[in-house]
Structure 1
Amino acid sequence: MTAHLLIGPVLRRVVGDRATIWVETTAPARVRVEVAGGGAGTAQTFSGYGHHYAIVIVSGLVPGSANEYQVWLDDRQVWPQPESPYPPSVIATRAAADAGQPVSMIFGSCREATPEATGRKLPPDALDAFSRRLMTDPRSPELRPDLIVLLGDQVYADKTSAKVRRFLRRRRPAGHDGPADEVVSFDEYTKLYLESWRDPEVRWLLATVPTVMIFDDHEIIDDWNTSASWRRDMSSQPWWSERIASGLASYWVYQHLGNMSPDELAADPLLAKITSVEDATSLLHDFGLSVDKPTSAENTDRPYQWSFALDVGRTRLVMLDNRCNRVLTPGRREMLPAAEWGWFVDQAHGDYDHLVVGSSLPWLMPPAIHHLEAWNERLADSAGPRRAAVAERIRRAFDLEHWAAFSRSFAALTELFRRLGEGGPEAPGHRVGAGGAYAAPASISVLSGDVHHSYVARADLGPAVATPVHQLTCSPIHNQVPVVMRPLMRFSWSRLAAKAVRAVARTSGVRRPAVRWKRLAGPYFGNAVSTLRHSGTQADVRVEGTTKDGELITVADVHLRDA
């Protein structure tokens, strides 16, 4: 059977003179990537659930170049497509001595598929708009970012498009035991990625700019791992085990596999097993089930670490799993189990200038919502069963499950940033200054999404903290907040709202957080993509929204730190 390219190529990581490229094909094939000017790699597809994938490590790239590449399946060239109106995709590398070169990354979250697939009248897709701008000169370092950072809800398993719903009705037998309009099986998950990543402009962009990703709740289901009682309720559903196994296995294949560097891929035991068998269906299914084991305060071992870290020039990015490995023990809730938190703190050590933390859920929310979540967590942990039950219903109904609703983790993250920003020999992490002296990072930024509005907020961690610390939230890329909700969300940023909710929280013994924060830009409710740029010790962020005509316009431009 002749293999064709179904999804991809997706350029995932570029590390030195190597790159990784992910593809999905229609049949088993030998995948070969050839780069003009030098660089090549091959890999055999692996198969699972009747689908075929490959992750190709390309070696021998020329430092400091941006060269076109071709993808071959067996003896047939399949990329670039001859009929494509778009410019050829390129792989760009940084110069060998790149310490002084600027670093830029675009980021955002919450992207529904194209309007043709969804049937919804959403504002223009910000990722489409960014792609069209980059097409004007794909080699331009001013237009082309070093990295795309996608912060969750890349697909919506629980809010499917009209196209996917038609597919579900056609393929499922009568009396199917499961939610009618939501995906459950691995094969159904593949349709979500197919309709999202084959959007022509997005397909070209993913083939041209390296991309890293982390999930949020909608890759599995709304409110995923909100609380221990939520897990118990979901586990009682007869279709849940297949949903969680399929969701996590498909996430590993489509998203997480490409987050790993070439060295990490070579050392990954799961990839080694999957590529050594003819059919990896049972391996993927068992893996999906095994990594959903609940993490408790007593058992903090993580079944699998989804968090990861990488360096781009003098910038360190640490992407955190805010969903799968949560500790949900009442009274001892944690965003990350102890072992993974220790790993995160270790990543904060090292020789870098700027620290960027990718967190699908914002660390700093509108103050009124922060106090509401902290108050709700306190009530949910109360000894009175009736009060705790009411608080739990409120928690689920209003999605009160951000960092503020995991107060131990919020406090720990705040303290880590404070100690980092103070610098000195006792700091838990630092960059190494001239002569080996300890120095605080030039900037710390938390990139987030989820909340369907974009904003920039600066944290005040006390006079001893020289490092500017910011919350940078960009959401949605392609979705929208109901118009009736926008005044309420704006009000949640007001001093009046914060003061009122804080007073309620104080009656339950909730302490004032050890950080104060001020909104510098936003809230912006349109579709948007943001760019974080580091140049030396300077840091800037730009938020760009989309016009009705699908063009990008700047809605916020904030200097986070001057050189």
Structure 2
Amino acid sequence: MPESRLLIGPLLRRVVGTRATVWVETDAPAVVTVRTPGAAGGTATTFSAYDHHYALVVVEGLTPDSVTPYEVLVDDELVWPTPDDPYPASVIRTRATDDREQPVRLTFGSCRETTQHATTRRLPPDALDAYARRSIASGDPTDLPDLLVLLGDQVYADNTSPTVKRLLKRRRRRPEDAPVDQVVSFDEYTKLYLESWRDPEIRWLLSTTPSVMIFDDHEIIDDWNTSAAWRADMRRQPWWAERIGSGLASYWVYQHLGNLSPDEIAADPVYTEVIAAGDATEVLREFGSRVDTESDVAHDPERWRAVQYPWSYALDLGRTRLVMLDTRCSRVVQPGSRAMLPGGEWSWFVDQAHGDYDHLVVGSSLPWLLPPGIHHVEAWNERLADSARPWVAGLGEKLRRALDLEHWAAFHRSFTALGEVFARLGSGRRNEPGDRVGAGPAYPAPASISVLGGDVHHSYVARASFADPAVRTPVHQLTCSPIHNQVPAGMRPLMRLGWAAGPASATRALARSAGVRRPNVRWRKLAGPYFGNAVATLTHRGRAAEVTIEGTSSEGHLRPVAHHRLTG
């Protein structure tokens, strides 16, 4: 039973009704089969790209409301589970045919460096690893969440481990051709995923827990798409074209493909091309280069549609709707018209945000609500960077990059528009044609609206409030970061001060002096900030919602550090 045939995986990605998708990477072209004790199963032939081989198997015929163990075969040889596997069986759990009364649990977090980084940086224990070990000890698959939501920086292309650095050192002939400690090629990207997802406990967790993902900047490089000037500077680097193309192509293969339901996979034009090509290297090379141009043309609807690929996606679990937003690849970065999402994608989001559900969850790698003191600094900086005076704009751009001022607050038009959508949904009012947030039928106000975020390397819960008394739905920012990283100790006092009334008032006055209008929403912290490694779980039962953030102890065990009821 040569386990080496299976390089990475299996990753259980989506479970939809009586079907599921299982993703694997193999060591050579092969036929991959997922087999269960009953009639359910599926088979797929691998596709190849850059001399690597992948399969996404659609498992059909599962029984509703069941827990089904499965095995993986490569060319009819059993490769999963391994003969000496000490872990519980990998299973596929389905929900009831009518799952409206079933609870929904989403476990989420962001920013996970591999465990190898801890050997050089003395990072606190990995929270996802601790979560996996606790689940293994439990042995009860019903203790696992319905969905694992990973909010960015699943791998670090620009901050590699000692093992990857040694590989890169052997490959780099001249430092000016490529960074000596950063990945550039598709093959080098594969080493990041191999290192991260073959961690034994993580591998088991991903094999038995459905997962969805979205990128943030470190899948590509720090500050990815922060501004048009940044993009122009990066294009002057001789290695950048390969880096961005490889980064987006590898993200599509390793992360995004599994975000899609079986029906969405069948309809995806890139997947159709990849499967038809046999060797999809050129298909993915062209794809990676093309979609990188989204930000260049995002302000022009016609040109944007010609190159756009929908990285954002939506799904329903019971009475919960999750809408995951791409806040990186297709940003509008032109000064004076910055936006997190181009117009066409914003319209898609508004359509998805309206519907018949009890709870809306918006996933964004970047938090919508930051500590107010930091929010106002970012809004102020955006006005500086958009100044008509070159020296002021240049200073604003330098500060934007140096201080990572690129969250929703630094795309203030999008920040305001998102608040308007939430206020409209939370009031249950009908949208009329011509409304800024879009038109559509009226639905009852949801029981809760939660924005999941990561990136900022600390965790907190914040409650938004609106001037309109008709907004009845509680709206919260739930930020959980990092899973395995840390914020420098010297920055922690500043992040705490960001929540204090005095500093927030001072930075608000600074923003006002630059012409920034008062935000259309106010918010206050309910829990945190917590600076350790953590994972969080959002639970919906009926129309009730609650969140728990768990941090790691020095011994590597999870303990609750925050719990908050979001409704009632």
2:515 to 505, 509, 523: 509
Question: Is 1:496 matched with 2:502?
Answer: yes
Correspondence for 2:163: 163
Correspondence for 2:340: 335
Question: Is 1:220 matched with 2:226?
Answer: no
Correspondence for 1:292: 292
Q: Give the counterpart letter for 2:494 in structure 1.
A: L
Q: CA deviation at 1:269?
A: 1.8
Q: CA deviation at 1:38?
A: 3.6
CA distance in 1, matches of 2:319, 2:126: 31
List per-residue Cα deviations over 1:419-469 (Å, max 9, x = no partner): 00000333869999xxxx841011000000000000000000132110000
Correspondence for 1:82: 83
Question: Is 1:249 matched with 2:254?
Answer: no
List per-residue Cα deviations over 1:55-111 (Å, max 9, x = no partner): 000000011011110000011000011111111111000011211010001000000
- Residue 467 of structure 1 aligns to a residue in which SS? coil
1:526 to 517, 529, 532: 532
- Residue 566 of structure 2 aligns to a residue in which SS? strand
Q: How does 1:349-360 map to 2 (within 5 A)?
A: 349-360=354-365
Correspondence for 2:477: 471
Q: How does 1:534-549 map to 2 (within 5 A)?
A: 534-549=540-555
CA distance in 1, matches of 2:315, 2:112: 24
List per-residue Cα deviations over 1:211-255 (Å, max 9, x = no partner): 000000000000000000000000111110000000000000000
Correspondence for 2:189: 189
Correspondence for 1:448: 453
Cα 1:392–1:176 change in 2 (3 A) is closer
TM-score normalised by the chain length of structure 1:
0.96
Question: Is 1:307 matched with 2:306?
Answer: no
List per-residue Cα deviations over 1:376-425 (Å, max 9, x = no partner): 00111111111110011000000000000001101110100000000033
CA distance in 2, matches of 1:303, 1:484: 40
Report if aligned partners of 2:152, 2:215 keep a CA contact under 8 Å in 1. yes
Q: CA deviation at 1:488?
A: 1.4
Report if aligned partners of 1:349, 1:430 keep a CA contact under 8 Å in 2. no
Report if aligned partners of 2:70, 2:91 keep a CA contact under 8 Å in 1. yes
Report if aligned partners of 2:354, 2:425 keep a CA contact under 8 Å in 1. no
Report if aligned partners of 1:118, 1:161 keep a CA contact under 8 Å in 2. no
CA distance in 2, matches of 1:118, 1:429: 51
- Residue 529 of structure 2 aligns to a residue in which SS? strand
Unaligned segments of structure 2, at least 5 residues? none
Cα 1:281–1:438 change in 2 (3 A) is closer
Structure 1 residue runs of 4 or more that deviate by more than 4 Å after TM superposition: 427-432
Unaligned segments of structure 1, at least 5 residues? none
Deviates more, 1:21-30 or 1:128-137: 128-137
- Residue 88 of structure 2 aligns to a residue in which SS? coil
Deviates more, 1:302-311 or 1:423-432: 423-432
Correspondence for 2:559: 553
Q: How does 1:482-493 map to 2 (within 5 A)?
A: 482-493=488-499
CA distance in 2, matches of 1:469, 1:175: 49
Q: CA deviation at 1:329?
A: 1.1
Q: CA deviation at 1:527?
A: 0.2
Report if aligned partners of 1:452, 1:480 keep a CA contact under 8 Å in 2. yes
CA distance in 2, matches of 1:506, 1:280: 52
Q: CA deviation at 1:136?
A: 2.9
Report if aligned partners of 2:118, 2:124 keep a CA contact under 8 Å in 1. no
Report if aligned partners of 1:33, 1:69 keep a CA contact under 8 Å in 2. yes
Correspondence for 2:466: 461
Report if aligned partners of 1:295, 1:326 keep a CA contact under 8 Å in 2. no
Q: Give the counterpart letter for 2:343 in structure 1.
A: A
CA distance in 2, matches of 1:189, 1:195: 10
Correspondence for 2:210: 210
Cα 1:390–1:500 change in 2 (3 A) is same
Cα 1:36–1:176 change in 2 (3 A) is farther
Cα 1:256–1:532 change in 2 (3 A) is same
Q: CA deviation at 1:282?
A: 0.9
CA distance in 2, matches of 1:193, 1:457: 33
Q: CA deviation at 1:140?
A: 4.3
- Residue 177 of structure 2 aligns to a residue in which SS? coil
Q: Give the counterpart letter for 1:212 in structure 2.
A: V
Correspondence for 1:240: 240
Deviates more, 1:390-399 or 1:132-141: 132-141
The alignment-based identity, stated in percent, is: 66
Q: Give the counterpart letter for 1:343 in structure 2.
A: W
Correspondence for 1:283: 283
Cα 1:499–1:537 change in 2 (3 A) is same
Q: How does 1:65-76 map to 2 (within 5 A)?
A: 65-76=66-77
CA distance in 2, matches of 1:286, 1:520: 46
Q: How does 1:71-220 map to 2 (within 5 A)?
A: 71-115=72-116, 119-141=120-142, 143-174=143-174, 177-220=177-220
Point out the structure with the larger helix share. Answer: 2
CA distance in 2, matches of 1:205, 1:67: 15
Alpha-carbon RMSD across the aligned residues, in angstroms, is 1.6
Correspondence for 2:380: 375
Report if aligned partners of 2:116, 2:161 keep a CA contact under 8 Å in 1. no
Correspondence for 1:14: 15
> Number of residues paired by the alignment?
556
